[in-house]
Amino acid sequence: MIYNIGSINADYFYNVSHIPRPGETLAATRVERGLGGKGVNQSVAMKNAGSSVRHLGAVGEDGEWMVEKLSSAGVDTARIVSLSGPSGHAIITIADDGENAITIFPGANRLIDSDQVQLWLATISATDWLVLQNETSQQRLAAELAKSRGARVVYSAAPFDAEVVADILPFIDFLCVNEIEAAALINHFNVKSLNNLGVNALLITHGSQGAVYHNFEKKLEITVKGIPVQVVDTTGAGDTFCGYFIALLSQGKDPLAALNIANKAAALKVTKLGTADAIPSLVDVLDFNNER
């Protein structure tokens, strides 16, 4: 079982000709609402890749539709709590070239307390995985509890906060970052390379250029090149990549095979508008693989 303590957001998409410059006002050509948040995106990606996923998170009084939608995607939502106040949401501006700018209001995601985390993880064991990101609260406690029970702990260091990362790293088995976050980690910790951080494994995504996976215990490094596609929306591509890769590793898949499938899942994701709703199924990914 994969436990995911992750954000649950309502995503509002605004299509514009280009990302607005400071002081510039643009009229959007389209607006849509969908389900998102790094946590939800990764839960859907992991479920779509064939894993059993238990999402642990919080919504506000306006969040019932999000829980229902996540449940309809096949994710276990029984332990999601409803808190007073608004749910998290994101304003996502998408340019014609597929690039985006995102403003997040955390809402209920940041109101998760320590008692709730301890209740959620009371049943986690050495056969399970715990996935965390930086859009919720209590990450250090969750990682420490899961690690003490023998579970494997995966952490996406985004949105990047150096102090939060430093606090949680001793309890992490697997770190997921993009190239910007990787550079920030090297700069903050003043290390020559990321293998000096103390984590066993590391995935670095490089957007359209592909990704590289390091397993420092096994002295293994695997690189995949990006797949040229017609880009519609890059939002959630990294979450799709990381989620697919984690799920396939948890199923015992060979890292090279897992990396290639995750790479194709992320490439297929950016050809569609949306976040969680646009994450492809494993069947679609494998069909896309065969076509390529």
- Burial code (b: 16+ CB inside 10 Å, e: under 16) for 171-185 equals bbbbbbbbeebbebb
Closest CA to 142 of 36, 3, 40: 3
Residue 191 has a pLDDT of: 83
Residue 233 has a pLDDT of: 85
Tell me 272's DSSP state: S
CA distance 128 to 245: 16
Question: 130 and 172 in contact (C-beta within 8 Å)?
Answer: no
Residue 145 has a pLDDT of: 98
Question: 228 and 270 in contact (C-beta within 8 Å)?
Answer: no
Residue 194 has a pLDDT of: 80
Residue 196 has a pLDDT of: 82
CA distance 244 to 237: 11
Tokens of 63: 């969040």
Beta strand 30-36 with 53-56: parallel, antiparallel or unpaired? unpaired
Residue 131 has a pLDDT of: 98
The enclosing H or E element of 260 equals helix 255-269
Domains identified in the chain and CATH numbers: 2-7+37-80+114-291 (3.40.1190.20)
Residue 214 has a pLDDT of: 95
Burial class of 270 by CB neighbour count within 10 A (0 to 12, 13 to 18, 19+): buried
Beta strand 81-82 with 88-94: parallel, antiparallel or unpaired? unpaired
Place of tokens 């002081």: 23
Residue 263 has a pLDDT of: 96
Q: Which residues of the chain have pLDDT under 70?
A: 289-292
Residue 85 φ/ψ, nearest 5 degrees: 100, -175
Q: Which residues are catalytic?
A: 239
Residue 158 has a pLDDT of: 87
Q: Is 201 helix (H, G, I), strand (E, B) or coil?
A: strand
CA distance 193 to 187: 10
Residue 162 has a pLDDT of: 83
Report whether the peptide linkage leading into residue 228 is cis, meaning its omega lies within 30 degrees of zero.
Answer: no
Closest CA to 168 of 190, 205, 197, 202: 197
Give residue-wise pLDDT tens across range 227-245: 999 998 888 999 999 999 9
Give residue-wise pLDDT tens across range 125-173: 999 999 999 999 999 999 999 999 999 999 998 888 888 888 999 999 9
Question: 204 and 211 in contact (C-beta within 8 Å)?
Answer: yes
Residue 84 has a pLDDT of: 93
Tokens of 193: 């390379």
